[in-house]
Amino acid sequence: MYAYFTAVADNRIVRMRYQNGRLGPPDTVFTGIPKGGNHNGGRIAFGPDGMLYATAGEAGNPPLAQDRGSLGGKILRMTPNGRPARGNPFDNSVVWSYGHRNPQGIAWDSEGRLWA
pLDDT value at residue 42:
86
Q: For the chain, give the longest Cα–Cα distance.
A: 46
Q: For 67-109, what is each residue's pLDDT tens digit?
A: 999 999 999 999 999 999 999 999 999 999 999 999 988 999 9
User: b/e map of 1-21 (b: 16 or more CB within 10 Å)?
Assistant: ebebeeeeeebbbbbeeeeee
Q: For 38-69, what is each residue's pLDDT tens digit?
A: 998 789 999 999 999 999 999 999 999 999 99
Cα separation, 93 vs 22, in Å, equals: 34
Q: Which residues are catalytic?
A: 39
